Structure 1
Amino acid sequence: MEFLEKFVRGLTWRTAQIAQVALAGVMLVIVANIILRGVWRPLPGTVEIVEILGAVLLALGVANCAVKKGHIAVGVLVDKLSQRKEALVESAVNFIALIFISLLAWETLYYAGQMMKRGYTTAHLLIPLHPFIYLVGFGFVMLAAVLLLESIKCLVAFSTTKGSEEE
């Protein structure tokens, strides 16, 4: 379990670093486009490059956000429960999210395969789209791994807390 947790944390951290580079790339492309627009002419394909880098940013950053629990959580009702019940509720929520994210990953990877078969590219720069869609699918797979790990941790917490705990 500890090895799996270290592996997932390490992988999400490395991919988050790539996402940070993508964010810097978005900023550079936009600034370069603004400067070139004033001096000469706009950077060709700016919208396409920003869209692709935005997909990379989302895909490779979302799992790290989940690992660090950087998402918004409303615990008004759950906070009033015992630790055991809270762990059970959190495990159930993580499991439901795991199912949806897994389906999303599956369909995204399938869609990427269809885009590769059809040979879709961006309109102006003719950049193939399927590698970036595969990357988004990989990001969802990583998020599913994080959710699976969190579900397991919650179930372990549920089974190790006392069963006769008072509310």
Structure 2
Amino acid sequence: MKYLEAINNFLNRISMILGGIAVLALMLLATGNVILRMFQLPFRGTYEIVSFLGAVVIAFALGYTQKNKDHIVVDILTEKFPKKLQTVIEALADVVIMIFFGIVSWQVYVWGMKIYESHEVSETLKIVFHPFVFAVSVGFALLCFSASVDFLKKLSPKEE
């Protein structure tokens, strides 16, 4: 179990670093574009690049957010349940997350392959954008992996 947690921590740390780089690039691009607009020299295709980078930022934060339980949880009803029942409900939620986002990751990957095989490019800049689609697929896969580690932790006996 500790090895899975170590792998999960490592992968999510890498994804957060890459997501942070994407946020930095997004910020520099948006800020530079605003400044250059004052001189009538805006960057061409800023909207496209910002959209691609935004998708990567969000996708790469998913696994880390799941691992640290930083997402929004509505537990008004379940907090009154016995601890064992709460654990069962949380485990079921982890299974639903694994199934749903596993399918999402797979389908986004399939979509990325279609884009890659058809040599589709972005509308304004005419750049290939399948790497961004694959990055989003990886982000969803990391969310699945984090949920599966959480699920396995709930099944394993507690160390005291």
Instruction: Provide TM-score, normalisation by structure 1.
Output: 0.90
What CA distance in whole angstroms lies between the structure 1 residues aligned with 2:155 and 2:83?
12
Identity of aligned residues (%): 27
Within 5 Å, give how 1:8-157 maps onto structure 2.
8-156=8-156
Query: 1:71-126: CA deviations, max 9, x gaps?
Result: 00011121111111111110011101111000101101111001111111111211
Question: Secondary structure at 1:127's aligned position in 2?
Answer: coil
Matched pairs, number: 158
What CA distance in whole angstroms lies between the structure 1 residues aligned with 2:103 and 2:95?
12
What CA distance in whole angstroms lies between the structure 1 residues aligned with 2:156 and 2:81?
17
What CA distance in whole angstroms lies between the structure 2 residues aligned with 1:72 and 1:65?
10
Question: Secondary structure at 2:127's aligned position in 1?
Answer: coil
What CA distance in whole angstroms lies between the structure 1 residues aligned with 2:77 and 2:34?
48
Code of the aligned partner of 1:19: G
Question: Secondary structure at 1:42's aligned position in 2?
Answer: coil
Q: Bigger shift: 55-64 or 102-111? A: 55-64
Instruction: Provide TM-score, normalisation by structure 2.
Output: 0.94
Question: Which of 1 and 2 has higher RCO (CA within 8 Å, sep 6+)?
Answer: 2
Contact 1:87 1:155 in 2 (8 A): no
What CA distance in whole angstroms lies between the structure 2 residues aligned with 1:41 and 1:2?
53
RMSD of aligned alpha carbons: 1.2
What CA distance in whole angstroms lies between the structure 1 residues aligned with 2:113 and 2:145?
22
Question: Secondary structure at 1:39's aligned position in 2?
Answer: coil
Larger Rg over CA atoms? 1
What CA distance in whole angstroms lies between the structure 2 residues aligned with 1:141 and 1:77?
30
Aligned residue in 2 for 1:7 = 7
After TM superposition, the runs of 4+ consecutive aligned structure 1 residues lying more than 3 A away are none
